[in-house]
Structure 1
């Protein structure tokens, strides 16, 4: 009976550790998706006592123009898009939105990877003007098409690395004997997702493999590098002796890094020169 109770306690502890790790991971992911500059910008406006909720696109992949689509059932409402290359002081280009049933839409012309527009959407009804997002421009960045066979493993591995990081950190905090195992697994998951598939995704999206230190200051690449260094240190320091403090530190750093909105200060096309100004390393070997 004593052994059974011990096993039950161990199982309950593991369930608690895994549950806490999942909660922390999903909380960080949700936070990123609501703060990152490439996710759709949510906005709402009221016209004649009717509230409309819209999402304004902030990222577009592939070789096509980017459609901006709004669902507006009221046929008396029309719309315009005002846009210009970012960052410039060019004159705003105005495009009238086309109505198809309940949909108003217009296209932003295609730009090379890392090219950006700032754009505003203005609705009009019976002479009254209703600018969306308080008339503040939304920034959209274009990118190349990333194959799902590369993007999906990258996303899965980074999610797994984040979860394992939290799990290893919690186990190390409570001095669970298997925290060193999960330290090793976290390291290899981060290596694969962040430093193998990550640059591959970057190359397809923007024509460069690495835009971080020492070549440029792409925040996403630098975040990955910092996390990798801390997990490499945790791995090495725990090889021959239990040093849980290093795993805890690496886990905390990883959590802080995941709390920074994704793609902030990312690759950007210089509208004057046509060059990407955040990085320039190209994966020519993958071409």
Structure 2
């Protein structure tokens, strides 16, 4: 395989998996369209917010549409609170009260033209999670290093499929980048965002932490199998496939979650 095609495939596969993971994650804004009494409304509802301010929920909705916002703390017996949406030009705007780090609210946006009331996202509530601000000097290196690790993991797998290439050097770089991005910078990001550096095995069930750990262990196995310069192709291919598959799991699934019962 030519070098240009080799890296083109590696970049395309990595970008595709990264975009899919991000777009399908539970903290990515919920998008959709709904017809409210003859008026089509396209919405984008937030599912992630910072603890430093109330979360704005805005819906493009021309007059005479009006509506309100219902919310409650997630996984509690709280009664639903209801606040009217305020009109700001062609938008209806409401705010959800800020929560502690890892706190979640369940909420619904309901619109009406004067006759019928429509929950725009359906009957199931939208879940929004709050996090503390993460410094740019942590989040940017984390994202870049993790992406580089995913890219080289893919490249190593492609190299292992090509008998003319020895994936050993790519394996070494993949291990280093996954360690730095996933097991050093990743916990720092989580510590800033939620106050806990690690909530995967054996301390918890955070899927992002656990999938990073699994990928890293597979690459350690490939690294050990390739001692003395051996290509260890089956191990590298297995590690590359596992990495690709687990990074297709939506980001932040089963992530940190505040237990409100422990605050009362």
Scaled to the shorter chain, the TM-score interval is over 0.9
What is the CA-CA distance between 1:115 and the residue it aligns to?
0.4
Aligned length: 263
Shift of 1:48: 4.5
TM-score (norm 2): 0.96
Mapped partners of 1:53, 1:175: distance in 2: 51
For 1:114 and 1:47, the matched residues in 2 are separated by 33
Secondary structure (helix, strand or coil) at the match of 1:155 reads helix
Please give the secondary structure, in 2, of the residue aligned with 1:89: coil
| 2:218 is equivalent to residue 233 of structure 1 | no
- Per the alignment, residue 116 of structure 2 pairs with 128
Larger Rg: 1
Q: CA deviation at 1:154?
A: 0.6
User: What corresponds to 2:171 in structure 1?
Assistant: 183
Select which of 197, 205, 225 maps to 1:209: 197
Maintained 8 Å contact 2:132/2:192: yes
**2:263 equivalent in structure 1:** 274
Of 181, 185, 190 in structure 2, the residue corresponding to residue 197 of structure 1 is 185
Name the Cα RMSD after superposition.
Answer: 1.4
Q: Which runs of 5+ in 2 are unaligned?
A: none
2:123 equivalent to 1:140: no
Alignment counterpart, residue 70 of structure 1, candidates 59, 68, 92: 59
> SS at 2:201's partner residue?
coil
Q: Deviations over 1:82-109 (max 9, x none)?
A: 1000112321100111111112111110
**Secondary structure at the counterpart of residue 210 of structure 1:** coil
Q: Is the 8 Å Cα contact of residues 31 and 44 (structure 2) preserved in structure 1?
A: yes
SS in 2 for 1:216: coil
Gaps of at least 5 residues in structure 1 are 1-11, 276-287
Q: Where does residue 47 of structure 2 map in the other structure?
A: 58
What SS does the corresponding residue of 1:22 show, helix, strand or coil? helix
Equivalent residue number for residue 25 of structure 2: 36
TM-score of the pair, normalised by structure 1: 0.88
The 10-residue stretch of structure 1 (193-202 or 156-165) with the greater mean CA deviation from structure 2: 156-165
Shift of 1:171: 0.6
Question: Which whole-Å CA distance do the structure 2 matches of 1:48 and 1:104 have between them?
Answer: 16
Match of 1:22 in 2: 11
Task: Give, in angstroms, the shift of residue 179 of structure 1.
Answer: 1.3
Q: State how far apart, in whole Å, the 2-side matches of 1:242 and 1:168 are.
A: 10
Distance in 1 between residues matched to 2:105 and 2:249, nearest whole Å: 23
- Residue aligning to 2:145: 157
Q: Distance in 2 between matches of 1:242 and 1:24?
A: 22
Deviation string 1:168-221 (CA, Å, 9 cap, x unpaired) is 100111124341111111111111110110000000000010001111111110
Give CA-to-partner distance per residue, 1:221-248, whole Å, 9 cap, x none: 0111111111111112212122111111
Moved more, 142-151 or 121-130: 121-130
- Choose which of 239, 243, 261 in structure 2 pairs with 1:250: 239
